[in-house]
Amino acid sequence: MIKTRAAVALEAGKPLEIMEVNLEGPKAGEVLVEIKATGLCHTDEFTRSGDDPEGIFPAILGHEGAGVVIEVGEGVKSLKPGDHVIPLYTPECRECDYCLNPKTNLCQAIRSTQGQGLLPDGTTRFSLPDGTPIHHYMGCSTFANHTVVPEIALAKIREDAPFDKVCYIGCGVTTGIGAVINTAKVEIGSTAIVFGLGGIGLNVIQGLRLAGADQIVGVDLNPGKVEMAEKFGMTDFVNPSEVEGDLVAHLVELTGGGADYTFDATGNVNVMRTALEAAHKGWGESIIIGVAPAGAEISTRPFQLVTGRSWRGTAFGGASGRTDVPKIVDWYMDGKIEIDPMITHKLTLDQINEGFELMHQGKSIRAVVEF
């Protein structure tokens, strides 16, 4: 048992509390990781706020981290102390029906315990000073200086990659770029609309530029996001609050009949409908990335689908983490993709709640906590 510092979500809707917590060592198939840096994703805020139907408290949130292996449990073969790793909320066991099916990245080997805030043996390694168990989150719990993660949920990465940048590959970068490359499989010359120019949407834009899209329309209520989006490849900007009349009609006209691909990176179900309906008749595909609150539902007229639009979704950008994440780290190190400008704020663990305030105020793209 060690003691480590963590930001603990004691109750839904309350600020995280920074404290020393207990952490048991790794059991069979598990790995103790020292987290060096973690990003703050909107999904952490979604769960902290109480909107997540799977939210369980107390919990240590955070799923966008990078760190170093300290100790491995019995039977762990693919990792050793000193290895640099990125925790994966979508693991890759390489054995389950899902891993063996090239149509999905949704490894289900540990999904049920992960959703209950537990490690695969049904217990938690974290506890409060009084011994009360603390739940894990998305199998990662990166808002702690040390965490225990199953071996199948760790991508081994090169040792020269900076933790404070590549932690973002643990969610936002991979989700955004992967939605374009793995899920939509966007072709050169395509037209696209990206709703929400935050930490995910900007990476969708970066992915669209990599894929060779001709027109990349960004849609956001916050004009403060325009400069960064243009830097990453946005060709046109639409602020829905400035559009007179119907937003769908405006976007359809702007893209010459609708976009080949549209992406929701807001989590708002009304935006998801607009995204579907702004996709081109006959062939347009709309990809849902955003995560919507408990009880929210999407709707549209079935005629939208009958007339050839498709509605799809993506988790972790369709990436198989142990295989794909080390490659995306290489892309960053080789200058094929950019991360640094999107990390707008660096914080200490004690400042983590300020990071959520910056997110709410629309002032940050990614805030990263460095330990």
Catalytic residue ranges? 41-43, 63-64, 93, 96, 99, 107, 111, 171, 366
Q: Do the beta carbons of residue 24 and residue 1 sit within 8 Å?
A: yes
Residue 220 found at the interface with ligand NAD (CB under 6 A): yes
Find the binding residues for Zn ion in span 35-64 (CB under 5 A): 41, 43
171 binding Zn ion? (CB under 5 A): yes
Tell me the Cα Rg of the chain: 20
Using rule CB under 6 A, residue 291 touches ligand AHE: yes
The strand ranges marked E within 222-334 are 236-238, 261-264, 285-288, 310-313
> What's the min distance (Å) between Cβ of 85 and Zn ion?
17
Give the residue from 214, 335, 204 showing the smallest Cα distance to 263. Answer: 204
Nearer to ligand AHE, 192 or 291 (CB): 291
Contact predicate 139/114, CB 8 Å: yes
Q: Does 90 bind ligand AHE (CB under 6 A)?
A: yes
* 171 belongs to the binding site for ligand NAD (CB under 6 A): yes
> Which residue has tokens 């490659």?
327
Q: Does 316 bind ligand AHE (CB under 6 A)?
A: yes
- Alpha-carbon torsion (77, 126, 118, 170), positive or negative: negative
Q: Smaller CB distance to ligand NAD: residue 76 or 171? A: 171
Q: What x-and-dash track marks residues 54-73 binding ligand AHE by CB under 6 A?
A: x-------------------
- The Cα 40–Cα 363 span in angstroms is 13
- Report the residue closest to ligand AHE, judged by CB: 43
Judged by CB under 6 A, which of 219, 228, 247, 329 binds ligand NAD?
Answer: 219
Choose the contact partner of 54 out of Zn ion, ligand NAD, ligand AHE, none; CB within 5 to 8 A by kind. ligand AHE
Based on the shown chain and the rule CB under 6 A, indicate whether residue 266 belongs to the binding site for ligand NAD. yes
Residue closer to ligand AHE (CB basis): 43 or 215 = 43
Using Cβ positions, the residue closest to ligand NAD within the complex turns out to be: 198
Distance between alpha carbon 135 and the CA centroid of its chain, in Å?
20
Sign of CA dihedral 306, 307, 311, 317: positive
Does 287 engage in binding with ligand AHE (CB under 6 A)?
no
Task: Between 43 and 90, name the residue whose CB sits nearer to Zn ion.
Answer: 43
Q: Quote the DSSP letter at residue 58.
A: S
Q: What span, in angstroms and rounded, lies between the C-alpha atoms of 223 and 328?
A: 29
Per the CB < 8 A criterion, the answer to whether 197 and 234 are in contact is: yes
191-194-197-203 Cα dihedral, nearest 10 degrees: -70
For residues 258 and 241, give the distance between their C-alpha atoms in angstroms, rounded to a whole number.
Answer: 20
CB nearer ligand NAD, residue 76 or residue 329 = 329
Report if residue 52 touches ligand AHE, rule: CB under 6 A. Answer: yes
Task: Return the residues of window 168-197 that contact ligand AHE according to CB under 6 A.
Answer: 171
Q: What is the Cα–Cα distance from 318 to 104, expressed in whole angstroms?
A: 7
Quote the least distance from Cβ 240 to ligand NAD, whole Å: 6
Q: Which of residues 8-67 bind ligand NAD (CB under 6 A)?
A: 41-43, 46
Q: Does 195 bind ligand NAD (CB under 6 A)?
A: yes
Beta strands in the chain (DSSP E): 2-8, 17-23, 30-39, 65-72, 84-87, 126-127, 133-134, 146-150, 154-157, 191-195, 215-219, 236-238, 261-264, 285-288, 310-313, 343-347, 366-370
Task: Return the residue of 13, 53, 129, 282 that touches ligand AHE, per CB under 6 A.
Answer: 53
Residue 133 φ/ψ, nearest 5 degrees: -65, 145
Binding-site ranges for Zn ion (CB under 5 A): 41, 43, 171
Binding-site ranges for ligand NAD (CB under 6 A): 41-43, 46, 171, 175, 195-201, 219-222, 225, 240, 265-268, 271, 289-291, 314-316, 359, 362
Binding-site ranges for ligand AHE (CB under 6 A): 41, 43, 52-54, 89-90, 106, 111, 171, 291, 315-316
